[in-house]
Copies of this chain bind each other. A is one copy, B any other.
Amino acid sequence: MRLRRLDAGSYIVREGDVPKNCCILVEGFAYRQKVTGTGSRQILSVCIPGDAIDFQNMFLDISDHSVQLLTRATVADIPREALQALVLKQPAIGVAVIHSTLIEASILREWVVNVGRRDARSRIAHVLCEFAVRLEARGLASKEGFELPMTQEQLADATSLTPVHVNRVLKSLQADGLISRQRRNIQFIDWRALQDTADFSRRYLHLPGEDELAVAAT
C-alpha cells in the first residue's frame, strides 16, 4: 500500500485500461466519467475522501470508464493481487466489498432517475442534497453548507445539462431563497425546501440511521 499525491485533473484510471492497483481516495475529490462517440461527457459519480475508487478493476479485467481528480488529492494504491487474495482468505472483507459496491449501484440507480426523469431544477437540487448528506456522513460538511469542489461545467456534465443552463438554475435557486452562494461555496438557506424541489430522500444512500439530516433541524 503506497500513498501518492496527485494534481487536480490527473487520471487515476482511463477507460480501456488494464489496471494493476485498487485505489482508495484518502483526501480530495474525484469523479467517474464516460465520453460518448460524439464527444459529450457524462459524469457518473463523485468520489469523496474515504471512497474506494476501483473495486471494479479488482475483479473486472478492463476498465469501462475513467476516473479523474477534481482537486489535488492523495490516493492509496493497493496491488490488485493482494486484495484479491485478501478477499479469498478473509470473507468478511469480501462482504465489505459487496456492501460498498451495492451502495454504489444504488446511487447509480438514483442518478439514472435523476438525469432521466427530473427537470433541470430538481436535478441540480438533487446533486446538492446528495453531496451534503454524503459529506456530512463523513464529517466533511458543516450544517450550513459546503464548498462545491466542481465547476458549473462539471456540474452540467453530472446532471446532463449545459453549463449555461446550470448557471440559470443556480441563480434561480438563489433568487428563490433555497441556497446562497459565493463562487463555489453553497449555503443552505432552506434545506427542507431544497429537498422538496430535489425530490430527495436519503434512503438510496443506505447510510446508518433513517433519521433526517441534522441540517433539517436548523
On whether the beta carbons of B160 and A109 are closer than 8 Å, the reply is: no
Whether, in the assembled complex, A3 has its beta carbon less than 8 Å from a beta carbon of chain B, the answer is no
Q: CA A62 – CA B103 in complex, angstroms?
A: 11
Whether, in the assembled complex, A152 has its beta carbon less than 8 Å from a beta carbon of chain B, the answer is no
Partner of A62, one of B60, B64, B203: B203
Q: CA A160 – CA B119 in complex, angstroms?
A: 12
Per-position binary interface string of chain A over residues 76-99, scored 1 when its CB falls under 8 Å from any chain B CB and 0 otherwise: 000000001001111110110111
On whether the beta carbons of A199 and B37 are closer than 8 Å, the reply is: yes
Per-position binary interface string of chain A over residues 151-185, scored 1 when its CB falls under 8 Å from any chain B CB and 0 otherwise: 00000000010000000000000000000000000
CB distance from A91 to the nearest CB of B (A): 5
Whether, in the assembled complex, A44 has its beta carbon less than 8 Å from a beta carbon of chain B, the answer is yes
User: CB-CB < 8 A to A90: which residues of B?
Assistant: 91
User: CB-CB < 8 A to A71: which residues of B?
Assistant: none
**Would A92 and B88 be within 8 Å (CB), given that A112-B42, A117-B36, A117-B40 are in contact?**
yes
Whether, in the assembled complex, A65 has its beta carbon less than 8 Å from a beta carbon of chain B, the answer is yes
- Chain A's interface size range is 35 or more
CB distance from A22 to the nearest CB of B (A): 12
User: CB-CB < 8 A to A11: which residues of B?
Assistant: none
Whether, in the assembled complex, A34 has its beta carbon less than 8 Å from a beta carbon of chain B, the answer is yes
The 20 sampled A-B contact pairs (Cβ below 8 Å) are A34-B109, A36-B113, A59-B95, A59-B98, A59-B99, A60-B206, A62-B203, A62-B206, A64-B110, A64-B203, A64-B204, A64-B206, A88-B91, A88-B95, A94-B94, A105-B108, A108-B109, A112-B112, A116-B116, A116-B160
